[in-house]
Structure 1
């Protein structure tokens, strides 16, 4: 019996040691038994988004239509299921790929592959979550710049002004709390080799677009934080580093880690955002 008791005590000691190590990996410990608190739900958009009335400098692209493979009613249902205070992340395939729990326990992703900025803005109110969200994360824009079939006749100045105009319209109606992530850099040589020579010079367009998008939000009444990731993601040539992408554009796990950590930090800079605090300790969650 003594041998059995000694074995049990040894196992208990080992499990305690494992729990301590896991706690260390998870960051600073929280108070015993604590749980993250969902942020308060607030209205993040005044009125109704004018989907058909804004006179964009460049008119609607004829080939910019919702994909038949995307059932947007799914988002209506998902948003309706979200409790007040849910932090909603809107964007394209990079948001679709995002592991949102790395940002916080109350972040929910609503990314659509191939989504343009215009289409993303035109589904802002689907499901009504934006009027009771904890905050809105907006992370899109590359598909507008990469729509070569339509924007071919236009120069970089015209295209980036078009993006800024859409953002200025949104900034004028935005309320509550917003995080606007810059358009991410790409690996031009990889995209030129595998997709199209039109990607040559894309990072310069992205830089110009990001500069103008930030300026478009300058006078917004919303509380806005920006997420600039270029310095963390590019290599010495100014292209998206190999270790941070899988195809020249979409992020690797390491790239997504950086993106999510930076978005989390931006949310934490906003007032009254308890939902982005450090999760409970491993041992506490097992009680």
Structure 2
């Protein structure tokens, strides 16, 4: 039994009997749970489980007793009332004696929960998160689930390599996008950059405009391994801007041929249109 106890020194571990009563606990278990060894040896497992986890814990315990081994994530209650999340490996050493080897994953779970929350927000937005490998065609290593709404392709299409990212970029924009990647990648000290808006072609053949905010990922040697980016659908905004420019051009054409001297100012009192009759009257050209 000595080699088992030595191996578990760096982990929270304890031994209990079939009635879930503690019969041994190492120093790490005592430190993390906040109890002394004597206190733990007078307690049962149920006493270190949050109330809303007791029923789940009871079912897991019965499953373990039936199988003789168990691996799962569990939530435990410390003496000060705070919760910790542990990855638990339970082994039946001898009949009636069970060893718990436990690794504290509380901080990891907090990070995972924050990542899940961020992905939930992204998946409900018009923005798609990508991780591209620094390789020909920019193979996709990760993409958020909402990619299908913008590109028509699902996550598996990209991650499996069936579809490369470069294939989705409009041929007339591809060279310019590649040049931007090369330019910013070679700039010393540049960690992120914004592409000028470019077009993508969806699985259905529809053309969408996107903005692309990219972060450069380097290894310890300074070599670029990946790019991470947020690609946002700006098609509606781009179309609205194009309609506004078209309307302004039409308005300028109309006032250009009016016989009366005419000009237009914007809300900031800046002159944005000045017709030919105005030039003649003022001798000031546009």
Normalising by the smaller structure, the TM-score range is under 0.3
Q: Which has the higher strand share?
A: 2
Report the structure number with the largest CA radius of gyration. 2
Q: Which has the higher helix share?
A: 1
Q: Give TM-score, length-normalised by structure 2.
A: 0.20
